[in-house]
Amino acid sequence: MPNQLPNDARGPSLHQYRPHPDTIAISAGRPERRPDAPLNQPIVPASTYVGGDGTEWVGYGRYGNPGWSALEDAVGALEGGTALAFASGMAAAAAVFSSIPPDAVVVIPEHCYLGVASLAHEHAQRHGLTVRTVDITDTERVLAAADGARLIWLESPANPTMEVADLAAIAAGRPDGCLLLVDNTFATPILQQPIGLGSDIVLHSATKFLSGHSDALCGMLIFADGREELLEAAESARKLHGATPGVLEAYLVLRGIRTLSVRVRHAESTARTLAETLAEHPLVERVRYPGFGSMLAIELPDASAADTMINSLRLWVHATSLGGVESSLERRRRWPSELKSVPEGLVRMSVGLEHVDDLIADLRQALDLIT
């Protein structure tokens, strides 16, 4: 099973319990242990495979790769389900939307990743999907909106505004037949495992924290036990739409996962200090920090103040992505299509692994230049 260590890696008692996520991140997705075998899953750059006479063969490069399988084993083990790898987080999201009936109802956060909101509304315009938006912090309203819905789509913490949902309460209170998907990109399975809280599907933009080095595009879907029909539909969508990850990208993400725990915990400690420090600055009107993880956002008086700060930074990187070892940030409303409910002066911040004192010093000197 993907959430267990290989047979030869288990000690006399390891098979009796699920290892800690810190251990899973290191041990899962490894090749079989035998003399002179590689410790890491090698890259297999193959588009074509030799045919077989049974059912257990790949056949073609769009249908599978040993590198994908290793990555899927590791992520599935971390999240407690069965994983599928995709070319990007948006490819994974598109695979989910492609399986939703055209006349269905989907509930999404009022604040969520721009790409997901755009995808949902595109399906509404083209296919008749009904999209209901809700404040995910209001559990009663989420459950009310879920009446008659096929899917609740949650981000917790939400991107870019950092709201947190009560995942367990929503999972327990949703109506029969309504699926729950949780985008766990920001929290990572080190800090939060939505399937254990009742989610049917977990999504990751593996480009972000799972990879951790800003060098690979990849997405993941993880399905809870008993959701084989959802898994099969997503795998079919991956094959038919060609949304497969590159073999190098799969290798890089799996390599990044080996240090996921230490990266997340170090960055989380720094983020807490930054949140406390920034809350005391007179120009910072609000700090949005959910209390865990390494993502936060601050609100400055307006777009001009935010842009001045960003353009004056020397260490922080102005970039639209996140989750790398380098600390990055951006004013989300610089994108014309960003949700209008996101404040103009909101700056989303992804905390990396630099020393906290240097990150604070850079922010202070940039904030001091705002007039």
For the beta carbon of residue 46, count every other beta carbon within 10 angstroms: 15
Catalytic residue among 208, 227, 288, 332: 208
Q: Is 340 a catalytic residue?
A: no
Helix (H, G, I), strand (E, B) or coil at 238: helix
Nearest to 165 by CA among 150, 149, 152, 175: 152
Rounded-to-integer distance, Cα 85 and Cα 66, Å: 12
Per-position DSSP letters for 274-336, written without gaps between them? HHHHHHTSTT--EEE--SSSSEEEEE-SSHHHHHHHHHH-SSSEE-S---SSS-EEEEGGGST
Token digits for 293? 């993880």
Nearest to 152 by CA among 186, 175, 127: 175
Catalytic residue among 18, 22, 49, 62: 62
Catalytic residue among 73, 183, 200, 307: 183
Structural contact between residues 64 and 40, judged by C-beta atoms closer than 8 angstroms: no
Structural contact between residues 324 and 313, judged by C-beta atoms closer than 8 angstroms: no
Q: Interhelix angle for 66-79 vs 247-257, to 10°?
A: 30
The number of helix segments (H) and strand segments (E) in the chain equals 12, 12
| H/E segment holding residue 349 | strand 346-350
β-strands 328-331, 317-318: how paired?
A: parallel
Token digits for 149? 């819905």
Q: Is 265 a catalytic residue?
A: no
* Torsion angle of C-alpha atoms 338, 339, 344, 349, degrees rounded to 10: -70
Catalytic residue among 30, 73, 113, 331: 113
Rounded-to-integer distance, Cα 57 and Cα 38, Å: 22
Q: Is 176 a catalytic residue?
A: no
Helix (H, G, I), strand (E, B) or coil at 88: coil
Q: Is 334 a catalytic residue?
A: no
Which residues are catalytically annotated? 62, 113, 183, 208
